[in-house]
Amino acid sequence: MSPSLRTTGPATGTTTRAAAGLWPVLLCWVAVALDGFDLVVIGAVIPVLLESGDLGFTPAAATTAATIGLVGVGIGAVAIGPLTDRFGRRLSLISCVTLFSAFTLAIPLAQSVTQFTTLRFLAGLGLGACLPTALAYMTEHAATGRGGSAVTRMMTGYHVGAVLTALLALVLIEPLGWQSMFVVGGLAGLATVPLLWAKLPESEAYLTAVGRRADGAPAKVRSTDVVKGRYLAVSIGLCVASFMGLLLVYGLNTWLPTIMGEAGYSIKAGTGLLLVLNLGAVIGLLVAGNISDARGNKPTVLLWFGLAALFLALLSIKMDSSLLVYAAVMLAGIFVFSAQVLVYAFVGHLYPPEIRGTALGMAAGVGRVGAIVGPAIGGALLTAGIAYPWGFYAFAVAALLAVLALSTVPAHLQPED
C-alpha cells in the first residue's frame, strides 16, 4: 500500500490507532439514529397536517408524501453503493448526512403539498444512503470476528432515534407546530457534519483496496459483480430476505396497534404493545450480534427469522392474560427486528471490501420496497376486515420466505484467486 493511503489525509490527521477509538462507532450510531427519526417524524406530523389543513393536505396527499419519501430512501440506498466503493466510506457518509439534513431543514419552508413531498423525496435520497454506508464502515471497523455485534449495536441507534423523536413530538408539536420537528431533525444532522469531518477516519479496509489499485494490482471484483457470476444467486437470496425483513419491521410498526384493536384489545393496550415491540427490538439487537459472532451469520439469521415466524403466528391466538400478550409481542420484537439487521451483517461478511458498499446498498434499497409493501398489506387486510388474525399469518409467512431465501445462500464465500 502506498504510504499516503495509510491515513485519511489532512482533514482528519487520523491514523490506524485512532480509527480503533470510540468516535467512528458513535458517529455511525448517530447516522443510523437519523434513520430512526425519519421512521417516526412523518407519522407524528401527518395527523397535525390533516387536522389543520396546512399546505392543503388530504389523506391521499399524506399517503403519497409518505410513500414518495420511502421511494427516495430506496433510491438513495441503491445509488450510494457504487459511490461509496469508489470514493470511500468517509466522504460518502458526510455527503449523505449533509444532503438529508439540508433538505429536512428546508421542509418547513414548503408552501404546498407538492413542495413538501419533493423535499421529503430529496431528503430521503440522503437518508437512504446513510444506512448502507454506515453499515459498510462498521463492518470494516469491527475487530475480526465481531462484525455481527458491531452492526447490531450500531442499529440500536435506529430504535433509540425513533423513541426520542416520538417523545420530542409530544413536547414540540403543540406549542411550536409541526415545522419544529423538521427544524430539530435538520439541525441535529448538520451539527453532526463537522464532527464527521473532524473525527471520522477512512475505513482501513477501503484504503487497503485503494492501495492495491494504486500499486497496479488488477481489480478482482467490480461493483457490477454483485449481480453476476457466483454473486448473483447470493445477492438474490439476501435481497429477498432484506425485502421480507423490512416488510415485517414497517408492517408491524404501522399496524400492530390497529390489528390488536381488531382482536378486541383497547387502543391504550395497542400503543403499549407497540412500545414493548420496540423494546424487544433493542434487546434482540444486543443479543443477536454476540450469538452471530459466536455461532456464525447464517445459522443465527435462519434461527432468528424462524423464531420470528413462530411468535408472529402465536399472536394470532387470542390470549386472556395481558402478561402473555405482552410477552409474546416482546418476543416477536426481539426476533423480527434483529433478524433484518443480521441480514446486513451477513451481507458484510460475504462480500469483499471492493463491492461491500454496493452489496449493502442493494440489499437496503430492495428492503425499502418491502418497507412500502408491508404497510400496504396490513392496510389491505384491514380494509377487507380480516386484519386479525390474517395480518399475523401474512407476516409469519413473510418471515418463512426469508428463511427459504437465506437457506440458498452459502455460509462463506472463499476469496477469488
Q: What is the pTM of this model?
A: 0.80
What pLDDT score does 416 carry?
Answer: 62
Query: Greater confidence, 376 or 335?
Result: 335
Q: Give the mean pLDDT of 86-115.
A: 93
What pLDDT score does 415 carry?
Answer: 65
Query: Tens digits of per-residue pLDDT, 10-40?
Result: 344 444 444 446 888 899 999 999 888 887 7
Query: Greater confidence, 332 or 160?
Result: 332
Query: Tens digits of per-residue pLDDT, 281-320?
Result: 889 998 998 999 999 999 999 999 999 999 999 999 888 7
Query: Tens digits of per-residue pLDDT, 338-347?
Result: 999 999 999 9
Window from 54-58, 246-250, 275-279, 374-378 with minimum mean pLDDT: 275-279
187: number of Cβ within 10 Å: 13
